[in-house]
Amino acid sequence: MGVLSQRIIAKVSGPAWEQLRGQFLQAARLLLAVSPQADSELMTTYVKFTVQSAPQSRVFAAIWLKNSKRLVMGLALPEDYEAEVLGPAPPTMAYKCLNKYFVVEQGGSMPKGLAEWAKLAYQNALTAEPLAGFQVAAKVESLQRAA
C-alpha cells in the first residue's frame, strides 16, 4: 500500500483543515488500500491517486484541496455505475478519465460506499483502453527498437 507523502500531510495539517482533515485522511487510506501498487501525488490543488508509482500511470481517483471548506473527490468508475451521491464534476474540477464525483463539506462524512468505489475505480482504471498518448509513445518505442 502506498503512503501519503509529507507534502500531502503538510497540505492538510494547518488549523483551517481541522474539520476536514479526518475525512481526507480516511478517503486517502481507502484509496491507497486498494492495492500495494496504488500511489498518490500532490499536485497544485489536488491529490491524484494512480494505479502505480511509475510516471504516466493511470489515475483512478483525485481529491481536490482547493480550500479547507470542502473536499471534492473524483473516481474512474464504469460509465453505467450509479449511486445517489455520485454526480458530474463540479465546474473547474473535471479530470480526464474521472467520471463520477462527490463533495464532502466541513462537518460532513465520507459516503459509506467509498471503499467499494475505490476498489472498482482502481480495477476500472487498470482495464481501461490505452490513452492516445500511451499508444503514440508505445508505437514510437516499437519503431525505435525495430530500426
Q: Is 145 or 96 the better-scoring residue by pLDDT?
A: 96
Tens digits of residue pLDDT in 67-76: 899 999 999 9
Question: 49 and 38 in contact (C-beta within 8 Å)?
Answer: yes
Mean per-residue pLDDT of the chain: 87
pLDDT band at 132 (very low <50, low <70, confident <90, very high): very low
CATH class of 6-146: alpha beta
Q: What is the pLDDT of residue 122?
A: 97
Give which of 81, 91, 114, 87 is closest to 101, Cα–Cα: 87
Whether 138 has a pLDDT exceeding 80, the answer reads no
* Mean pLDDT, rounded, for 36-51: 94
Between strands 100-105 and 46-50, the pairing is unpaired
* Mean pLDDT, rounded, for 64-68: 92
Q: Please state the domain extents for the chain.
A: 6-146
Whether 124 has a pLDDT exceeding 70, the answer reads yes
